A = this chain, B = another copy of it.
């Protein structure tokens, strides 16, 4: 008998995804002794808290001693609670952990062929877009669009790294017949006096933040004009000057960003403003 039970025993195949976890849970729940069943039920109802709880907390929730919960983890196929928790912690932020490490490696051996480089940038772009979709704050976006739609003229400013974005915004605004002015710093001319009451500023800057962009934003802010910021983090100096700050998560490759997410955001903003004004 003993050998039989050994053979039939729960195979130590731990679920590799949240999906698999749920399947396994459903398949074993019914023929489980009382306490383990309590575990299963509580876990099923609170799957999302696994990532942020301790054994003791979860056990208390299921009204069982910690050791029961440990047994439960092992029955599912994990070596213990920590391994199970790992699954949920990683599922929460997929891909991210070793990504920047990979970039560093690639940077180290600069033997990268053009095609290999391209693959990296494509991947970076895809990830950026994904995390943009996940993280964007709809309220802020709505507010930004509303503000810009009311403006007489939109002053777009973004230099260096942000200049491609600024120039694309200017292009789209032009196509949609939205009065806009691109502050491009050509000839080091200072166009700040072009700002009139009723106008709004759309400023784009990423670390290291460009002095001129911040100056223009500060100037507009001081004069009571609405400022919309497009930047990398909420700690950016733009945050203090702007009425609405939209942040874009973008992965750097050395000094270079893929800009995919930023451009996608910019163009959405521009098209939304264009439509709203009609």
Contacts and interface: CB of A to CB of B under 8 A. Distances in A.
A41 to B, nearest CB: 6
A152 interface: no
A268 B260 CA distance: 13
Copies in the complex: 2
A251 to B, nearest CB: 10
A133 B141 contact: no
Interface in A97-140: 98-100, 102-103, 106, 109-110, 112-115, 117-122, 124-126, 129-130, 132-136, 138
12 contacts: A25-B235, A98-B134, A99-B130, A99-B134, A110-B278, A112-B275, A118-B264, A126-B126, A129-B129, A164-B165, A186-B186, A253-B267
Interface of A: 18, 22, 25-26, 29-30, 40-41, 44-45, 48-49, 51-53, 61, 89, 91-96, 98-100, 102-103, 106, 109-110, 112-115, 117-122, 124-126, 129-130, 132-136, 138, 141-142, 144-145, 160-161, 163-165, 167-168, 171-172, 175, 186, 207, 232-235, 237, 239-240, 249, 253-256, 258-261, 263-265, 267-269, 271-272, 275, 278
